[in-house]
Amino acid sequence: MGQKGSQTRARILDATQELVETGGYFGAGLNQVVAVSGAPRGSLYFHFPEGKDQLVGESIRRAGQAIGAAFEEPAASGASAAEFVEGVLRHLGDRLEESGWSKGCPVATVALEMAAASDPLQQACSEVYASWEDALRARLAGRPDADDLAVTILALIEGALLLAKAHRSRRPIERVAAQLAALLR
């Protein structure tokens, strides 16, 4: 694929990610993707021949990688596990607040809407969550409860984002961060 094709594909994925994050699977209609991306309709079918589920699945994986990068920054600084989790929550809280409370987790809405109905989307959501669990588990290495704790931390982060979005307040994120810090110290 040439540079122009790669750029068009990236624009389509950017538009899809934006629409999915703010409106879920059903808020990312193909007409909206075309309008937001500025790409020709035929490009959707060329780059995503398996249809909307392929498009949304790839956008979820891409968003998952971007959020995963937020896990790398505090890890690279040599932060303790508690500082690492606080840094991740701070980053996600900043992202949510800066978006006007519209961008929580890029995976959660699709997981809730479509995981039971679409195997490809369920798989994409599962892969992203597993990668985040792996990143958390790596920061907890050496702890006998690392597997269970990684899942617990991820569940608390997801819940904190949902509550922060619902309340349009960072307070749930701050409370979860404080409790996780106490748990990890």
| CA gap 140, 145 in Å, rounded | 8
DSSP string, 30-80: HHHHHHHH---HHHHHHH-TT-HHHHHHHHHHHHHHHHHHHHHHHHHTT--
- Span 108-131, pLDDT tens digits: 999 999 999 999 999 999 999 999
Residue spans of beta strands (DSSP E) within 45-185: none
- Span 71-122, pLDDT tens digits: 776 666 777 888 888 988 999 999 999 999 998 888 999 999 999 999 999 9
| CA gap 31, 29 in Å, rounded | 5
Handedness of CA 107, 113, 115, 118 (dihedral sign): negative
Tell me the whole-structure pTM to 2 decimals.
0.91
> Which architecture characterizes domain 3-184 according to CATH?
Orthogonal Bundle (1.10)
